[in-house]
Chains A and B, each alone.
Chain A
C-alpha cells in the first residue's frame, strides 16, 4: 500500500496535476498511516460522520414537505407520516438519527477522555470536537421544536426562558430569541432557518476537525506516539474495512429502532399539538440533554443553575489544561482510571435524575452528582496530574504487541 509517488496516468493524472483531489484522497483515506492497535472505540468518529450525512440528507428531504408555520407545522409532519411516499421512513430516520448521533458522539467523547486524546498535541482537535457538540446541541434543540407538539413548545419555552435569569439584559435576550413575547410563529420560523443552517456549520467544523486530526494522526489505546513505520498500517484497506464492519453493526441497531421502536426514545406528549394554554405534567427534554438538565435543576438559584449547566459543557474546552498528566491512556493511570469510570457512571446517574421530577431524594442525588461532575474536572484531574504515578509503559506500539504475545512483560518505565 505504500504510495508509488503519484503514478496517476490518463485523465486522472491530468486532473490531479491541476487539482490534486486524487492525491488528497490518497493521502487522507488510503495511505494515511494509522496506529495498528486501534480498538473498536476508534470507529465512532467515522460513524458520527456517516450519521451527520444521513441527518442532512433526510433533513433536506423532510424540509421539502415540512411547513414552518405554527398553525400548519404539526399537520405537515403528520402529512409526511401518512401521505408522502416513504415519509414515515424519512421522518423516523431523522428522529432516531438525532438520538444515534448523540450516542455515537458521547461514546466518541468518553473514548477521548479515557485514552487522553485531548492532550498535546491534539488540543485544538479536541476543542473543535467540543464545538461540534455545542452546535449539535443547538441544532437538535431547534429541530425538536419543529414538529410543534406539546414537548416542542414547552421545551422551547423552558429552555429559552433560562436566559431571563441573566440580570438586566435577560428579558431582552428572551424577547429577542422569541421574536415576540412568547414562543410563537416567529420563534418557529427562525428555529427552522437555523436548524437548516447549523448542520452545514457542523460540516465545516468537522472538516477542520479532520485536518487537525491528520496533522498528528490518531491517538491509540496505549496513548503513546507512533515511533516508526512498524507501529502503523495504511488506512486502506485495514481501517476502511473495519469502519465498514462497524457501520454495519451501527446500522443494525439504528434501523432496528427506526423500524421496530421508532418512538421508544421520544416523548408521547409530542404527538399532542402544541397548546400554549395547557402545560404538560412533566416537561422533560430529549434524553441526550438530561444530564445537563439535571445539573440545571440541581441548583436552587436559577441563574447559578443556568451558569453551571453551560459550564458543564464549557469545562470540556479547557480540559487539556486541567488534566496535564504526561501519560495519555488511562490504562497506565490506575487512579485516573477509577475516577474516570466513576465519572462515567455519574453521568448516567445525572441523566436518570434529569428524567425524574425535581423533588425529594432526586434533588439530593442530582446535587451530589453535579458536585462530582465538577469535582472530577476542577479538582481531581489537576491533583492527579501532579501526583499520580503511572504503570510501566511500553516503548512502542510494536513492542507492546510483541510483548503481549510473548509473556506479557512491558519493556520500559519512562513516560510516553
Chain B
C-alpha cells in the first residue's frame, strides 16, 4: 500500500517535471519515429552514413563539427581506408616544426573534423553577421532534439503576405521568431546517394538528423545496451531482496 503511494508520488512528480521541461518548447513539432528512440533504440548505420554525406556536401560549407574525429566514423561503419581518404581531403594548419614555422598538412584520421572557418569572426562575416553554430551537440542543445532539427529543416515555407522578411533572412515556421539567417539548405536531389536511396527532401533530412544525433550522443547505443543489462540485474536483485525482506519480517507483529 505504502509502496503504491510512493509510486503514485513518483508519477506525479515526474509529470510535474514534464510540464516544466516542455515549457521551453516553442512551435508544435511533428514527432517522428526514430530508430534510436526507446529502450531498445539503435543507430541505423546506413542512414548515418548517408547523413554524413549530406553534412559533407551541404552543411559543412557553413557548420563545423569540432567534437568528432575522422576516425570516429569507424563506429558508424566506415572502413579504415575510407576514413583515411576522407580525412586526406582536408588540410589543417599544424606546427611549429623544427624550423619554427607553421605549415599546412593533410588531415589524419585522428584529427577532429576540419571546420569551414578559422574563427567566429570569419564565420559571421561570411554569413551576414549571423553565426552558424557548431553542429556537434545540436540535437542535445535544442528542446525537442532530433524532432526539432527535422522540423526546422522542413520548416521553410512561403512567408505570409503581411510579414516583412529582413534582408538576408528566410522565413521558417519552426525557428523562434520565424526568421532565420540560414537559407533553406535541403531540397529534393541536393545530394546523390551512392546506395540508390531516393534522395527526397524528407529522406535527406532524416539522414542528416540521424547523423547529427550520432555526433551529439555517440555513446547512445552503448548506453542503451548497458542500460538494459543494468536494469535487468537491478530488477532481479530487488525482487530477491523483497523476498528476503518478507521472510525476515514475517514474524514481526
Chain A contact residues, CB within 8 Å of chain B: 36, 39-41, 78, 81-82, 88-89, 92, 103, 107, 233, 237-238, 241-242, 244-245, 248-249, 251-253, 255-256, 258-260, 262-265, 267-269, 271-272, 281-282, 284, 287, 290, 348, 351-352, 354-356, 398, 401-402, 405
Q: Which residues of A contact B242 (CB under 8 A)?
A: 245, 248
12 additional contacts (CB under 8 A) given A244-B245, A290-B20: A82-B67, A82-B218, A238-B252, A242-B245, A248-B242, A252-B231, A252-B234, A256-B227, A259-B228, A271-B140, A282-B23, A287-B20
Would you call B244 and A241 a contact (CB within 8 A)? Answer: yes
Task: Report which of B6, B21, B39, B234 forms a contact with A251, defined as CB distance below 8 A.
Answer: B234
When distances are taken between beta carbons in the complex, the residues of chain B under 8 Å from A88 are 219, 223
Interface residues on chain B, number (Cβ under 8 Å): 47
B237 contacts the other chain (CB 8 A) = yes
Contact residues, B221-240 vs A (CB, 8 A): 223-224, 226-228, 230-231, 234-235, 237-238
Known A36-B252, A260-B39: A352·B238 in contact at CB below 8 Å: no
Binds A, one of B9-17, B46-54, B158-166, B194-202: B9-17
CB < 8 Å: which of A233, A248, A290 contacts B234? A248
A39 touches B2 (CB 8 A): yes
Check A352–B2 contact: CB distance below 8 A: no
**B interface residues (Cβ-Cβ under 8 A, vs A):** 2-3, 6, 9-10, 12-13, 16-17, 19-21, 23-24, 39, 67, 133, 136-137, 140-143, 145, 176, 216, 218-219, 223-224, 226-228, 230-231, 234-235, 237-238, 241-242, 244-245, 248-249, 252-253
With beta carbons under 8 angstroms apart, the residue of A267, A352, A398 that contacts B16 is: A352
**Within the complex, which residue of B2, B67, B142, B237 is in contact with A268, where a contact is CB–CB below 8 Å?**
B142
Q: In terms of DSSP, what is the predominant structure of the interface of chain A?
A: helix
CA gap between A78 and B21 in the complex, in Å: 23
CB pair A352 B20 closer than 8 Å: yes
Is B16 touching A351 in the complex (CB atoms < 8 A)? yes
List, in ascending order, chain A residues with CB within 8 A of B241's CB: 241, 244-245, 248
Contact status A78-B67, CB under 8 Å: yes
